[in-house]
Amino acid sequence: MKKRNNSSYNQAIIQDALKGCIGKLTPREQLKNPIIFVVYLGTFITGFIWLYESSRGTIPLFGFEFWVFVWLFFTVLFANFAEALAEGRGKAQASALRSAKKSSSANKLSEDGSLRKVSSESLRVGDVVVVVAGEVIPSDGEVIKGIASIDESAITGESAPVIRESGGDRNSVTGGTLVLSDEITIKITKNPGETFLDRMISLIEGAKRQKSPNEIALSILLMGLTAIFLVVTLTLKPMALHVNADISVVSLIALLVCLIPTTIGGLLSAIGIAGMDRLLKKNVLAMSGKAIEAAGDVNVLLLDKTGTITFGNRMASVFIPLDIKELDQLAYAALLTSLSDDTPEGKSTVTFAQNHYGVKEPANLQSAKFIPFSAYTRMSGLDLDGKAYRKGAVDAIEKFVTASGGKFSKEAHDICAQIGKKGGTPLVVCEGSKVLGVIHLKDIIKPSIKEKFAEFRGMGIKTVMITGDNPITAAAIAAEAGVDDFVAEATPDTKIALIRNYQKEGFTVAMTGDGTNDAPALAQADVGLAMNSGTQAAKEAANMVDMDSSPTKLIEVVEVGKELLMTRGALTTFSLANDIAKYFAIIPALFVVAFPQMEVLNIMHLSSPQSAILSAVIFNALIIIALIPLAISGVGYKALSADVVLGKNLVIYGLGGIIVPFAGIKLLDMLLATLHLL
């Protein structure tokens, strides 16, 4: 299995990000981030003052004003670089996808039944095309005739081919994928520019990235803080004149830039883009940032039993003989009767007999007459050495035994009934007219899934298993898996009603699905994860698509959503805490001449007022570049309660946000004093 290269920091991406951060220096681009736009304006004003005053000779050419201008410019540049770097990998992915989106010819089926070559760009919704082995599927559609093996590696990164066929829930095909075998007839479901590949490219590049509600709310809060600090800074000038303190405009701009939340302002967009990128690394395409954020708020998970909680195939787990002395004989007969059974159940029986009982195939198998499993007879077996070995459903074996002159005992019926009550499936094994025993088939719970559900429970997330099984079977599997609740004999109407009920109670609900009948529930859920192998209706209804078509991916999606919220919260805490140290650096420096008593606030013992201000400005710029890796990679997720996470964040990013600037500003002040830049 081959995956695309997921490296976040290769040389090409960094080079593109460097070019991108320069390209973002236009007023139109800067206006998209109001906080950095304030810094942007401050940079221009500082640059103008520096050029004007230095040309008049009133200030040194490379003095305080010059260095403030330089580092304000770097602050803007670093904020642009953070966003450009977050976008960089997405653009690399989009470039790879564009290589798959090449205009090609298509065999369009005419009304008279003839085929004619047309350009894929000319295809419209409702057109029918025929694609044979070796040809690229020209556009999104649904298979209406035939079955084929398809290479989807250009989109999913997976080298293993997949099967697509008419009817059922695996009839959806994506433009740009390659047909490896056979021939299929496809009905086009998307016009050019609207295909799944087009949407992927657009979303990955971030061209249509919509801010989530929480991100918008945080932006409004940060803009409010910026407005408050702007008013405070503007009032300092007349206050200083009143007390005969000389505070330059450049110093006030430096103060404003250091006090407004520039750190989180510069990283906020990068955090959102990186969240989509982290999902993309897991081969999940999020249709919006709102969907990722909703995943972080999820507190009810609706999970299909088959393929998510269990492996999806019932496997042999126990051999139950009618006579304990005949256990080895039962194991031997179970192996023989399963050699011609190619179903997952048959293969698991062979493996179980070999691994747990050491049963080996007889040497004279070439003389045996194999009876393959048939859905009609519901039996499999073989005739060897004059003996007829059979394995199958209870009623099928009962008929076989009775026809052979034997009797199906009450004990065998009781064993089968007990297995059914436990949620298992009984298969009866016989040798001629004699019943040897019963194979207990059961849904095998995936390893560590119970521990994962326990982690979610600790976070306050409720897990609900949805299955079409009867209540007895569902209850047995739910208890073994450790889910909080289950819904048996579920229908599409049951699913959507369940989601609505949870949402009415204030829960945020996530679910997976792949069929057309799942589409209403996927659309209703706050987080709907559709399988790429599923129908077009399911993918259209969902707000996320799993390119790997793995039902368990929903758990990883929730974790990425949690990471996004934790990263944004942690960096916001760190950014706001930074202001405390900057306050102690700049405020005393501004007023110490007029009020010598304020020297007591100079707890860092900075060398001079100008050095204190410049050190704070430099630190303010450098901390953005230092936090870019954390913003893009995200704060590590751990399944902890909200109170514990909040406490840890306050200690690490709150207290750390206070201590780090004190140390950083002091070191920068010492460096400036050593270099004699001022």
Q: pLDDT digits over 85-141, tens only?
A: 877 766 666 666 666 566 678 899 988 888 989 988 889 999 999 999 989 888 888
Q: Spell 364-378 as b/e; 16+ CB within 10 A means b.
A: eeeebeebebeeebe
The neighbouring-strand residues paired with 505 are: none
Residue 240, phi then psi, degrees to nearest 5: -65, -40
What are the C-alpha distances in Å from 9 to residues 4, 85, 148? 14, 8, 38
Query: Which residues make up each annotated binding site?
Result: 341, 345, 373-380, 391, 514, 518
Tell me which H or E stretch contains 590: helix 553-591
Q: What is the pLDDT of residue 169?
A: 63
Fold classification of 105-203 (topology level) = 2.70.150
Residues identified as active-site = 304
Contact yes or no for 665/619 (Cβ under 8 A): yes
Residue 450, phi then psi, degrees to nearest 5: -65, -40
The answer to whether domain 105-203 and domain 284-309+446-547 are alike in fold is: no
CATH 3.40.50.1000 fits 284-309+446-547, yes or no: yes
Residue 605 tokens, joined: 């013992």
445 CB-side CA count, 13 A: 18
337 CB-side CA count, 13 A: 31
Q: What is the pLDDT of residue 102?
A: 63
Q: What is the pLDDT of residue 8?
A: 47
Residue 328, phi then psi, degrees to nearest 5: -65, -40
Share of the chain above pLDDT 70, in %: 90
Residue 535 tokens, joined: 């129908």
Contact yes or no for 167/173 (Cβ under 8 A): no
What are the C-alpha distances in Å from 252 to residues 67, 255, 578, 591? 15, 5, 18, 12
Query: Which residues make up each annotated binding site for Mg(2+)?
Result: 514, 518
Report the Cα–Cα distance between both ends of the chain, in Å, rounded.
59
Q: What is the pLDDT of residue 353?
A: 94
Contact yes or no for 170/534 (Cβ under 8 A): yes
In the chain, which stretches have pLDDT less than 70?
1-10, 89-103, 154-160, 168-169, 200-212, 289, 306-307, 312-313, 375, 551, 593-594, 639-642
Tell me which H or E stretch contains 390: strand 387-392
**Beta strand ranges found along 250-289 (DSSP E):** 284-286
Q: What is the pLDDT of residue 103?
A: 64
CB atoms within 10 A of CB 179: 23
Q: Is 57 exposed, middle or buried (0-12, 13-18, 19+ CB in 10 A)?
A: exposed
For the whole model, what pTM was predicted?
Answer: 0.68
- Domain chopping of the chain, boundaries: 6-93+212-280+559-675, 105-203, 284-309+446-547, 311-444
Rounded to a whole number of angstroms, the CA Rg of the chain reads 34
CB atoms within 10 A of CB 501: 11
Q: In CATH, what number does 311-444 get? A: 3.40.1110.10
Contact yes or no for 245/590 (Cβ under 8 A): yes
